[in-house]
Amino acid sequence: MIIKARSRKIASIPTASMGDIAFLIIIFFMTSTVFTRDKGLKMLLPEKTEKIDIVKIKPENIVTIMINPEGALKVKATGLGDGLDLSVQQYNEVRKVIQQKLLERDTLLVVSLRASKDSQYKNMIAVLDQIKMSRVTAADGRELRANKISLIPTTEE
Amino acid sequence: MRKSLVRRPAQTPDIPTASTADVAFLLILFFMVTTVFRATSLHLKISLPKAQATERILIRRNLANLWLEAGGKVYIDDAVVPMELLNAKMAAKIAENPELVTILKIDEGTNYGIVDQMLDQLKEARAFKITFATEFRT
């Protein structure tokens, strides 16, 4: 056996793939970053007028939803008799009423949301959510939704 | 030493790749340093209400943020504004940009009376395009 003095090897770490790794990191973070987007329920406020405009709406075109300070609802519409009393857990009934009314009244429907000034904002939003969600397809294929929503505050006597 | 007359074999051309790592890291560092996160040092305690019909707001410009705490404190774009001055503040913004959409970030426990006061101020300022900020409900 020949014992030979080994020639010294130069130790080196391969750096050829470093660039690939760095770009991989860049691309990973670029694709996985999620920017916070604002989200919510869109509304269009009405013009504020000094004189009270009297717009006559036929009573059968109106669905009135009242919210009391406890969060209970009263839904009034023609065909509902004395009105429908709903507790906080029954909010999804609102949608059914509006959907049915939409089919009857088409685009003429106006939803009047009367929240008490002492009621909580989250209840008002929960009802607004129900109104926004009520969409039905009419017999001729058009999609109907409750577009006319009026927000009216009420005070407790 | 004898000079070699033999022609050298043609060299294979190559692009030096030793510095691509440096370039990539430079890019990472550049974006890390220049990225500015929105300063949310307001310490607002606002929990937004949840709604299933929540829509994403696709526009990124023409937005004004309006916060309302349960106690009735109003903030416009990070500054406290008294309720009575809201209308003047918003009117100035609307004059600057009539297409402005106001995002109302209102605490879910707020009394509707206070919300109504705010909506009234917005109507006066002619800021008609609004959005009630909500969270997705799953």
> Does residue B102 carry a pLDDT above 80?
yes
Q: How far is CA A18 from CA A44, A63, B65, in A?
A: 54, 66, 43
SS3 A120: strand
Q: Shortest CA distance to A32 belongs to which of A40, A21, A24, A42?
A: A24
Q: Please indicate if any CB of chain A lies within 8 Å of the CB of B121.
A: no
8 A C-beta contact, residue B114 and residue B68: yes
Between A72 and B1, residue with greater pLDDT = A72
- Cα A66 to Cα A85: distance, rounded to the nearest angstrom: 10
- Cα A86 to Cα A95: distance, rounded to the nearest angstrom: 12
Q: Is residue A96 part of a domain?
A: yes
Q: Is residue B39 part of a domain?
A: no
pLDDT in tens, B56-83: 877 777 888 888 888 888 888 778 888 8
Q: What percent of chain A has pLDDT over 90?
A: 1
Average pLDDT over residues A59-75: 84
pLDDT at residue number A39: 83
> Does residue A123 carry a pLDDT above 70?
yes
- Find the closest chain A residue to B38 by CA distance: A36
Q: Please indicate if any CB of chain B lies within 8 Å of the CB of A116.
A: yes
Question: Closest to A153 (Cβ–Cβ): which among B20, B28, B116?
Answer: B116
Q: Shortest CA distance to B134 belongs to which of A67, A130, A150?
A: A130
Q: Please indicate if any CB of chain B lies within 8 Å of the CB of A21.
A: yes
Q: Is residue B87 part of a domain?
A: yes
Domain count of chain B?
A: 1
pLDDT at residue number A155: 79
Q: Please indicate if any CB of chain A lies within 8 Å of the CB of B39.
A: no
Q: Is residue B101 part of a domain?
A: yes
Domain count of chain A?
A: 1
How far does B14 lie from chain A, in Å, by closest CA?
A: 13
Q: What is the DSSP letter of A55?
A: -
Q: Is residue A101 part of a domain?
A: yes
pLDDT at residue number B64: 85
pLDDT in tens, B2-13: 566 677 777 888
> Does residue A157 carry a pLDDT above 60?
no
- Cα B68 to Cα B106: distance, rounded to the nearest angstrom: 5
pLDDT at residue number B42: 60
Average pLDDT over residues A89-117: 83
Q: Is residue A102 part of a domain?
A: yes
Q: Is residue B56 part of a domain?
A: yes
Asked if the Cβ–Cβ distance from B110 to A23 is below 8 Å, we say no
pLDDT at residue number B11: 80
Q: Please indicate if any CB of chain A lies within 8 Å of the CB of B109.
A: yes
- Find the closest chain B residue to A28 by CA distance: B28
Q: Is residue B78 part of a domain?
A: yes
Q: Is residue A121 part of a domain?
A: yes
Average pLDDT over residues A91-100: 84
pLDDT in tens, B25-55: 888 889 888 887 765 556 677 888 888 888 8
pLDDT at residue number B84: 85
Q: Please indicate if any CB of chain B lies within 8 Å of the CB of A43.
A: yes
Look-up of token digits 């007359």: B5
Question: What contacts B17, CB < 8 A, 6 or more positions away?
Answer: A16, A19
pLDDT at residue number A51: 65
CATH number of the domain at B73, please: 3.30.420.270
Average pLDDT over residues A11-29: 83
CATH number of the domain at A99, please: 3.30.420.270
Asked if the Cβ–Cβ distance from A153 to B112 is below 8 Å, we say yes
> Does residue B18 carry a pLDDT above 80?
no
Contacts of A127 in chain B (CB under 8 A): none
8 A C-beta contact, residue A10 and residue B8: no
Asked if the Cβ–Cβ distance from B134 to A121 is below 8 Å, we say no
Report how far Cα B123 is from the mean position of its chain's Cα atoms. Answer: 25
Q: Is residue A30 part of a domain?
A: no
8 A C-beta contact, residue A112 and residue A62: yes
Average pLDDT in chain B: 82
Range of the structural domain that residue A81 is part of: 59-154
Chain B, residues 70-99, CB within 8 A of chain A, namely: none
Range of the structural domain that residue B61 is part of: 50-136
Q: Is residue B63 part of a domain?
A: yes
Contacts of B100 in chain A (CB under 8 A): none
How far does B61 lie from chain A, in Å, by closest CA?
A: 11
Q: How far is CA A9 from CA A2, A12, A30, in A?
A: 19, 9, 41
Between B100 and A57, residue with greater pLDDT = B100
Q: How far is CA A81 from CA A38, A67, B29, B35, B130, in A?
A: 41, 18, 68, 60, 35
pLDDT at residue number A53: 64
Q: Is residue B32 part of a domain?
A: no
